[in-house]
Amino acid sequence: MISTTFAQKNRHHDKNQHHNRKYVPPFVVTLLFTLLLTGCAGTAQQAQTISGHIKVSGSTALLPLVTAASQAFEKQYPQAKIDVSGGGSLVGLQAVTTGKTNIGDSDIYADPAAFPDPNLTDHIVCVTPFVMIVNRDVTINSLTRQNIIDIFSTGKYNNWDELQGSNIPINPIVRPNSSGTRVTFRKYILNGLDEKGTKLQVDDTQKVVNLVATTPGAIGYVALSAVTSAVKYVAIDGQEPTLENIGAGRYNFWSYEHMYTLGDNDPLIHAFLDYMTATAMQATAQQLHYIPIGAMELPTVGDASTTNPSNHATLASILLPARQESEDRRNESY
């Protein structure tokens, strides 16, 4: 991160003290001027040294934030090129571990049993609250977890009028197996049960939003950052997807957002990861309805202890005593 500090100098002119001024040799003035120019040039040269081309792929829940970050980063560092794409969390994890991408974005923790490369490094950048969205013709504003299970898994409810809604058939939209959002949904909402409904072939958050918006009686699940006026989200057990509710354990449909690399020794990768967690981009994350990572009181991003499953209990009790839900207690090993 490059920063420049500006100092203001107050100059006092007093003719009576003119005789006390010390003589400064011309070569000293020249030297100081040269150092000033060198410092300015150094800042510009630092920007020029951040260059190259990297690929980022994976989670479509994190896609809006990574896209915004890449555009701002390229504007600040014109010699850098960052290609960003989605595909789903598992696609991102598979791509980074096989060298097809430089950074793999994921809503879920990379299970060492499935991704055993010891060089796989986790960088947690923010939190995504997920929500249940419905077509705007659905009049219900809140569902219980059991309601959602009975819609997506047991098939108990097939019409919204069975839940005191309008007489419209319920049309569940199911995300593909590559979706980290789906994994989170099954684990924390469906208690691990399978889903029934219209299953998408490609994980695309925007496609879920569009399909729910245009299908009468449709219900699906997406990141809060993806919700538009074309759909509406419903509360779960009467709880909204806020930081306070997540921190208190009242709202469980959320996940940390991970950016995985095979190490981060590449200067461009390192710079972009730093950029993602810098104050300005974390403010952008909040504007896009993510939760800044600092708000979750995590240890420093990149700390090896955050990625070691054996440390889960210790971290939960020592680092996050005020949180009833954390990545450590949630044990995101899928």
> Across residues 143-164, what is the average pLDDT?
97
Q: Using the 8-state DSSP alphabet, how is residue 7 labeled?
A: -
pTM: 0.76
User: CA–CA separation, 192 vs 5, rounded Å?
Assistant: 53
Predicted confidence (pLDDT) at residue 69 exceeds the cutoff of 60? yes
Assigned CATH class of 129-247: alpha beta
User: What does the pLDDT look like over 87-119, one tens digit per residue?
Assistant: 999 999 999 999 999 999 999 999 999 999 999
3-class state of residue 199 by DSSP: strand
Taking every pair of C-alpha atoms in the chain, what is the biggest distance, in angstroms?
96
**Which residues, in sequence order, are CB contacts of 148 under 8 Å at separation 6+?**
132, 189, 190, 236
User: CA–CA separation, 9 vs 278, rounded Å?
Assistant: 30
52-127+255-330 has which fold?
Answer: D-Maltodextrin-Binding Protein; domain 2 (3.40.190)
109: left (phi over 0), alpha (psi -120 to 50) or beta: beta
DSSP element (H, E) containing 81: strand 80-87
Domain spans in the chain, listed from the N-terminal domain onward: 52-127+255-330, 129-247
What pLDDT, on the 0 to 100 scale, is given for residue 116? 94
Q: What share of the chain is helix, strand, coil (3-state, %, to 5)?
A: 40, 20, 40
What pLDDT, on the 0 to 100 scale, is given for residue 47? 52
132 contacts 221 by C-beta, under 8 angstroms: yes
> Across residues 257-270, what is the average pLDDT?
92
Residue 223 has a CB neighbour count (10 Å cut-off) of 29
Dihedral pair phi/psi, residue 257, rounded to 5°: -105, 125
Exposure of 117 by Cβ count < 10 A (0-12 exposed, 13-18 middle, 19+ buried)? middle
**Which residues, in sequence order, are CB contacts of 25 under 8 Å at separation 6+?**
none
User: CA–CA separation, 236 vs 31, rounded Å?
Assistant: 67
User: What does the pLDDT look like over 296-318, one tens digit per residue?
Assistant: 864 443 443 344 333 322 222 22
